Amino acid sequence: MHIATQIVKQKVKSSFSLLNALSDFYDIDMKTINKEIERADYDNINSLMMYEGRIASAYWSELSKIFNSLAKDFNFQSRKNLSYSWNMNASDPVNAMLNYGYAILESMIRKDINTIGLDVSIGYLHKIAPSKHPLVHDLQELFRYVVDYSVIESLESGLKKSDFITTVNYHMRLKPDTAKLLIEKIKNNFNNRYEFKNKHYSLENIMFENIREFSRYIVGNSKQLEFSIPDTEIKRNDNSQIRDRIMSIDPEKRKELKINKSTLWY
């Protein structure tokens, strides 16, 4: 129960951090997710999962607005459909990219778990089931936000429906160039360096260190378990404040600043 709680706490923290970072560039209702966070319930697994579900609902509601503002014709609605569990069953481009990205993340988590030597079949948040690897899914929860942001970055590049393939069963596939773009975004985000234990590490190394610290707790070499994942940093200069300032420039101000008319329009 303690391990499951720590996983959910960090997942919620990372989700909130991403939305907070995105709020500089998109219209995001931070009050709703703040209210859900205040209703935290760690009494038992069922209440913990219900709490996680409420946070996820608020989180995806905000991401949906971003997805649809960037690619309205992709018609993203939710992640609730069970068919989205596998990349082959995605019915829209956004879910196809999310599934593809999560598959990459899953392979990264699995590699780290195998390197450290943990048993992937023993989970703490997800159910133990034959042919399933719940520990991979448990630890994957901590870094899903990286894939979510990478998908947003990909959509910001101006993807169109022609960048995807629709199968005879109406399932979506990423074309090779689209997959390459998403892989590059994920790679870049995991290569970003953050301060960690008084040094600067790539996020990929921080992920490995968190899993290693988790293993130390499991075998009793550490008495405390607390995942340590840095807050999301979005290093861009096109935030909402700058955009509002540009949009507020009238013709007289433009002339005063000696900005060309077509430049201001652009």
**CATH code, domain carrying 110:** 1.20.120.920
Return the pLDDT at 130. 57
Q: Based on the domain organization, do 152 and 255 belong to the same domain?
A: no
Identify the domain containing residue 90 by its residue range: 2-235
Residues 211 and 262 in one domain: no
Burial of 214 (0-12, 13-18, 19+ CB in 10 A): buried
Greater confidence (207 vs 47) lies with 207
Query: Span 196-205, mean pLDDT?
Result: 93
**Same domain for 230 and 165:** yes
Do 244 and 222 share a structural domain? Answer: no
Residues 80 and 163 in one domain: yes
Examine the domain organization and report whether 149 and 249 are in the same domain.
Answer: no
Q: pLDDT for 55-107, tens place per residue?
A: 999 999 999 999 999 999 999 988 864 434 444 468 899 999 999 999 999 99
Look-up: residue for tokens 């360096």?
193
**Selected residue with higher pLDDT from 266 and 128:** 266
Q: Which of 93-102, 132-141, 167-176, 193-202 has the lowest mean pLDDT?
A: 167-176
Same domain, 219 and 256: no
Residue 18 pLDDT > 50, yes or no? yes
- Do 147 and 253 share a domain, yes or no? no
CA distance 27 to 13: 20
**DSSP SS3 for 201:** strand
Pair type for strands 164-166 and 172-174? antiparallel
Pair of tokens at residue 232:
């999301």
Using CA atoms, how far apart are residues 97 and 148, in angstroms rounded to an integer?
9
One domain for residues 212 and 149? yes
Q: Which range has the worst mean pLDDT, 24-38, 65-79, 154-168, 230-244?
A: 230-244
pLDDT at 127: 72
Q: Give the separation between CA 141 and CA 216, rounded to whole angstroms.
A: 19
What's the pLDDT at 84?
40
pTM of the model: 0.87
CA 226 to chain centre: 20
Q: Which residue has the higher pLDDT, 183 or 126?
A: 183
Is the separation of the CB atoms in 197 and 183 below 8 Å? no
Give mean pLDDT, residues 144-171: 92
Give the count of domains, the chain: 2
Assess whether 86 and 65 both reside in one domain.
yes
Question: Is pLDDT of 163 > 60?
Answer: yes
The overall average pLDDT reported for the chain is 89
pLDDT of residue 242: 78
The pLDDT value recorded for residue 162 is: 95
Q: Are residues 51 and 67 in the same domain?
A: yes
pLDDT digits (tens, 9 = 90+) for 119-137: 999 998 877 555 579 999 9
